[in-house]
Amino acid sequence: MAGSLVKIQSVSTTSSVATVTLTGISSAYNVYVVEFDSATPDVDDALRARVTESGTPNTTSNYSTASKQYNASAGTTSASASSGGETSWNLTMGLESTRTNNCNGVLWLYNFNNASSFSYMTSDLLGWGSTSDELKGRKGGHTFESSSSCDGIHFFLNSGNNIVSGATFTLYGLKKS
């Protein structure tokens, strides 16, 4: 896949911010990829996301998530699933604010610009848990259950806290073959 990704937009936090928005999704690519690293909350919290339409986050109750979490302690796992009707996607477990370079992840975005189909994505994330101070991973699938044309993705923390300085979020288009 070397050379297959085309950078669309990158945002690096140089101070604490409440939100990060990446836009630029169009019909130019069928699949988009978001990579982020060092997404650390200023207070223990969870990372969430929404689609954007015309650059504005969609806050309707059309988000569904199903995911599996993996904990470092003795290889334990815990399931997490949403029955739908949420106002955003829950991407992470509670993240610890005292760790640097806390949460890293890759999101694969599909059908975002297709107004006749639901938008969906898969996620692979790794971070430090706030309640157990242990490394945790999470894999998931996420659907935006509305046939609309989405042009980006908006990140924020569950309780309205800030993402601290040093995080980088990058949107790529995957070249069509």
- Is residue 165 domain-resident? no
Q: Determine, yes or no, domain membership for 92.
A: yes
When the pLDDT of each residue in the chain is averaged and rounded to a whole number, the result is 88
Q: Does 4 map to a domain?
A: no
Number of domains in the chain: 1
Q: Is residue 102 part of a domain?
A: yes
How far apart (Å, rounded) are the C-alpha atoms in residues 158 and 125? 16
pLDDT tens digits, 25-58 = 999 999 999 999 988 888 888 889 999 999 999 9
Write down the pLDDT at residue 160.
85
Of 156 and 83, the structure prediction assigns the larger pLDDT to 156
Residue 79: CB atoms within 10 Å: 8
Model pLDDT, residue 109: 98
